[in-house]
């Protein structure tokens, strides 16, 4: 039996914290599918196509990883791809309550898949996409936290707000 994990998220944009989770998961699972949520209640800074492209570009070196967009219910996507695991990263205790609830609901909706939590690497625990967007929008340097492709895209996105001195 081959083990397939779905790693779902908004990835707006993908950060080094996400990439680290994928890299570690790629060593455990036969196949990892990064599932980029298309329809999300969140107002995203980047379009679905952009978020998918950033993930594809930054994860290209991992041969057993693929990136797909998904719409609608995660449970349906998990079934459609024949996955037996849903992967989520945990940063802080504050992530836990929501993640635990989500895991319970997904177990109910798709009993054949298990949610696997992976703890963030210590020095990535304070990285979140929303914080990265905020820093970039204020002209801060995010190069330690994201891939250069993403850093450049963020700089371009917020260029009008941060005219060069």
Q: State how far the Cα of 17 lies from the Cα of 146, in Å rounded to an integer.
A: 8
Residue sitting closest to ligand ADP (CB): 17
Does the active-site annotation cover 47? no
Exposed / middle / buried, residue 103 (Cβ in 10 Å: 0-12, 13-18, 19+): middle
β-sheet bridge partners, residue 66: 33
Q: Print the binding letters for residues 16-45 with ligand ADP: x by CB under 6 A, - otherwise.
A: -xx--x------------------------
Which structure tokens are listed for 133? 């967007």
Q: Is 95 in the site for ligand ADP (CB under 6 A)?
A: yes
Q: Which of 4, 51, 88, 129 is catalytic?
A: 129
Provide DSSP, 68-90: EEE-S-HHHHHHHTT-SEEEEEE
Tell me the window of 11-19, 54-62, 74-82, 152-160 that interacts with ligand ADP (CB under 6 A). 11-19
24 is catalytic: no
Q: Which residues pair with 37 in a beta bridge?
A: 70
Q: Are strands 4-9 and 31-37 parallel, antiparallel or unpaired?
A: parallel
Q: What is the dihedral of CA 67, 68, 69, 74, to 10 degrees?
A: -110
Query: Does 106 participate in binding ligand ADP (rule CB under 6 A)?
Result: no
Q: Which of 120, 146, 151, 153 binds ligand ADP (CB under 6 A)?
A: 120
Whether 129 is a known active-site residue: answer yes
- The residues assigned a catalytic role are 18, 42, 91, 129
Q: Which residues bind ligand ADP (CB under 6 A)?
A: 9-11, 15, 17-18, 21, 88-89, 91, 95, 120, 124, 127-129
């Amino acid at each position: 039996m081959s083990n397939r994990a779905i790693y779902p998220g908004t990835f707006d944009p993908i950060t080094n914290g996400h990439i680290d989770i994928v890299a570690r998961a790629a060593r455990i699972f036969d196949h990892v599918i990064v599932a980029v949520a298309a329809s999300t209640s969140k107002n995203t800074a980047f379009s679905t196509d952009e978020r998918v492209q950033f993930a594809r570009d930054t994860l290209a070196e991992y041969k057993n990883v693929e990136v797909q967009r998904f719409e609608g219910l995660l449970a349906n996507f998990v079934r459609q791809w024949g996955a037996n695991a849903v992967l989520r990263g945990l940063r802080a205790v504050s992530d836990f309550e929501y993640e635990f609830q989500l895991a319970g609901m997904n177990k109910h909706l798709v009993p054949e898949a298990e949610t696997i939590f992976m703890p963030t690497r210590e020095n990535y625990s304070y990285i979140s996409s929303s914080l990265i967007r905020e820093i970039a929008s204020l002209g801060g340097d995010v190069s330690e936290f994201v891939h250069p492709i993403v850093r450049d895209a963020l700089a371009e996105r917020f260029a009008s707000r941060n005219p060069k001195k």
